[in-house]
A and B are shown apart, each in its own frame.
Chain A
Amino acid sequence: MRIFRRSLAAGALLLGLAAGQAVAQQMPPLPQSIREHGVLRAGVRCDQPPYGFRGPDGGFAGVETEMARQMAAWAFGSADKIELQCVTAANRIPQLNARRVDLLIATLGVTPERARVIDFSNAYRWGGSDLLVRRDSPIRSLDDVRSRTVIMLSGTTQAAWFDANMPGLNSLRLNTASDALQALLQGRGEAYAHDAATLIVIAARDPNLRMVGEPFAVSDAAVGLRKNEPEWMAWINAALDRMKREGLYTAWLEKWVPAEIRPPYTAAFMDPRPAAR
């Protein structure tokens, strides 16, 4: 596995370097303010597999982390010229505006409230939400949670959705996916609402949990940037385009998502966004 990973990284590096010359003209110029740092300072999730999490060796892992590394390679010539910062749903946007990071590839859903304070790139995938419950739970549909306690993360699309659609709901708002998962396992709540992408991975790993399977709160996910940085925005959008064109998403999904659960993730990156509640 390690050889496979190393050769993949080497391949990406070579691809970046070799193609860099020819494709350099195709990418817009890197803004001076970004170039000055010498490294790509990106905010990623550390608690949301398979997009952003900590791998078995403790390092940053996940599809979105790969995206960040690829951008670093295209911007600075090497995937190592990167400074990854763990962010949570509640602090990712403040971290961006505080200039701790220069971009967010952190399962950031596009919402109007967020658009007031930051700018979004073009969407690179969409994502839906779902509920995780214990295997023996009587909850079978989204409406079943109305009279129950639902666990979710503060500052997420799920929190906003429940605020808007089930205002009287008894919700337990925590800070990280692990806190939420623990709370579910400890019986502090009857359901855990989060991005389906993460819940699928967790459910696959724990036979005592299952997903309710009624998607809701579907939104696009995009890269988050500070407002009024048009040059940077242009570069990011070009990078995202390039990733899609060169089929990099497929490669990364193969690396980070086991084959048996891969189809929904591939659909998220490749297919158009479906409609849901």
Chain B
Amino acid sequence: MMYGLHLIAENAPLLLIGLRATLLLAAVTLLSSTLLGVVLGTLATVKARWVRLLVALYVETFRDIPLIVTIFTIFFGAPFLGVPLEPFPAVALGLSLWGGANGAEIVRGGINSVQKGQREAATALGLRPWKIYLLILWPQALRAVLPAYTGLLALIIQSTSLGALVGVTEFLKAGGLIIERSTVMQGINPAFEIYGFVLLVYFSICSVITWLSRRLERRLGRSAATTVRAPDASRL
């Protein structure tokens, strides 16, 4: 046990590099997921049925295919399509498509949670559709959406660990490299301590975010008619 802890201290630089990659990957994913989510989620509330159907199709697809399969498909499949994608971009793309699907659901719920009357009144007042969204729907949806979105952030941070499987040196992979070296060169396996440590770090980061999400829900939930539920990790 002590040896494992000693290893962690010794390899702090490598672990920090991994953590940095994890956070960078999460940030990139959050950004693109937000963009994608807002666009798709908004499209999911327009009158045209076929548009809503298409969005629903996309969302259903990327929430039903296991995330690990999505990422491997992009990583192994991209070269076949003639697009050589390095591991980091491949994982970022996969996570963004998935995050965008979840984000779309949240945004859709948020916009739909705004009282119907608001939309009708705005239309009656003669506001153009894009103005309705910009001035009425989005700002109000934001309050409903924020807690759920924070929850999604925690999920995104957790899913960056999949990058380890395709060669991105993020936090989990950094831990794996330490274990590898120790096992092969010294014959000692510190997997318990190292993976335990990795779990604790993820827990520390995500529990803070989850706590934040719950606080936001309590604060903002009071005024919003219906709060949008965060995509539970169980619906990952």
Contact = CB atoms under 8 A, between A and B. Distances in A.
Do chains A and B directly touch (beta carbons under 8 Å) in the complex?
yes
Interface of A: 46-47, 49, 53-54, 56, 58, 85-88, 91, 94-95, 97-100, 176-179, 181-182, 185, 202, 205-206
A214 B167 CA distance: 33
Interface in B171-189: 176-177, 179-185, 187, 189
Interface string B59-81: 00000000000000001101100
Contacts of A49: 184-185
A87 to B, nearest CB: 7
Nearest to A186: B189
Contacts, number: 67
A100 B167 contact: yes
24 contacts: A46-B177, A46-B180, A47-B180, A53-B181, A53-B185, A54-B180, A56-B185, A58-B14, A58-B181, A88-B167, A94-B75, A94-B166, A95-B87, A95-B167, A98-B84, A100-B86, A176-B176, A177-B180, A181-B183, A181-B184, A182-B191, A185-B189, A202-B184, A205-B187
Interface string B176-215: 1101111111010101000000000000000000000000
Contact of A98 (B78, B182, B187): B78
Given A58-B14, A87-B167, A98 B86 contact: yes
B74 to A, nearest CB: 10
B64 to A, nearest CB: 25
B195 to A, nearest CB: 12
Nearest to B90: A98
A177 B84 contact: no
Given A98-B75, A100-B167, A47 B184 contact: yes
Contact of B180 (A56, A97, A178, A202): A178
A98 B79 contact: yes
Nearest to B13: A58
Interface in B61-112: 75-76, 78-79, 84-87, 90
Q: Which of B87, B182, B185, B191 gathers the greatest number of chain A CB atoms within 10 Å?
A: B185
A178 B167 contact: no
Contacts of A176: 176, 180
User: Interface range on chain B: under 10, 10 to 19, 20 to 34, or 35 or more?
Assistant: 20 to 34
Closest 7 CB pairs of A and B: A178-B183, A97-B79, A178-B180, A99-B84, A54-B181, A100-B86, A98-B84
A206 B184 contact: no
Contact of A54 (B78, B176, B185): B185
Contacts of A202: 184
Q: Which of B11, B78, B184 gathers the greatest number of chain A CB atoms within 10 Å?
A: B184
Nearest to A86: B177
A79 B76 CA distance: 32
B177 A98 contact: no
A56 B182 CA distance: 9
A97 B84 contact: yes
Contacts of A47: 180, 184
Nearest to B89: A98
A87 B168 CA distance: 10
Contacts of B185: 49, 53-54, 56
Contacts of A181: 183-184
Contacts of A95: 87, 167
Given A53-B181, A95-B167, A206-B187, 5 more contacts: A46-B181, A54-B181, A98-B79, A98-B84, A176-B180
A49 B76 CA distance: 28
Contacts of A54: 177, 180-181, 185
B166 A91 contact: yes
A94 B86 CA distance: 9
A177 B185 CA distance: 11
A91 B176 CA distance: 15
Contacts of B79: 94, 97-98
B167 A91 contact: yes
Given A98-B75, A99-B84, A100-B86, A182 B183 contact: yes
B151 to A, nearest CB: 31
Nearest to A95: B167
Q: Which of A46, A91, A94, A99 gathers the greatest number of chain B CB atoms within 10 Å?
A: A94
B183 A94 contact: no
B3 to A, nearest CB: 15
Nearest to B88: A100
